[in-house]
Amino acid sequence: MTSTNAFTSVLFLALLGAWTSSSAAQADPSASAPAVRVEYLHPEKFQDIGEGRYGSDRQRTAHLEMLRKHIQQRAGRLLPEGQSLAVTITDVDMAGSFEPWRRYYDVRIVRDIYPPRIDLHFQLIDATGDVVKEGERKLRDMTFMTSSAMYRYSNDVLRYEKALLDDWLERDFRRG
């Protein structure tokens, strides 16, 4: 056997092993099912996250994906083993607003009169599939300009919204 054939055989076996192990993981639904599922109900109608006049569909999609990942990471740490969380976000209104009378009408002006707002519905489900906790939340932070969000996510475009979600998750799902 030449060295090229030996290398090809080893490579083939390695790829086959990787393929079979990933196939086995996909066959087990509990291995691929996330503990936290986040969905958006009519995101094109949300108050202003990537709104058409000042943003784009691509920007809205990117912002919503960042919020989805944030909720999944933060909630995933708080949930006990075997529980899952389903969140349906029905509206997002980012902190700040566009003031069309200003010279730069496409710049978001962040002032305390424009707090971040997120409306959502959630279900906390245990390992047997029973709903442990369910509810609607209208998240608001009227003190966002003086809160720690300025420092927790200082360089993040969604810093106020992420801090708002953090506060909600801690309040509703904190262990103990």
Provide the greatest CA pair distance for the chain: 77
69/137 same-domain check = yes
- If you ran DSSP here, which 8-state letter would residue 45 be given? G
Number of domains in the chain: 2
pTM value is 0.75
76/156 same-domain check = yes
Q: pLDDT tens across 79-110, in order?
A: 989 999 999 999 999 887 777 677 666 677 78
87/16 same-domain check = no
CA 137 to mean position of chain CA atoms: 16
**Which SS3 state, helix, strand or coil, does residue 99 take?**
coil
Distance CA 127, CA 88 (A): 20
76/22 same-domain check = no
State which residues form the domain around 168. Answer: 34-173
53/3 same-domain check = no
Distance CA 36, CA 72 (A): 5
3/62 same-domain check = no
Q: pLDDT tens across 21-75, in order?
A: 444 444 444 444 569 999 999 988 887 775 545 567 788 889 999 999 999 999 9
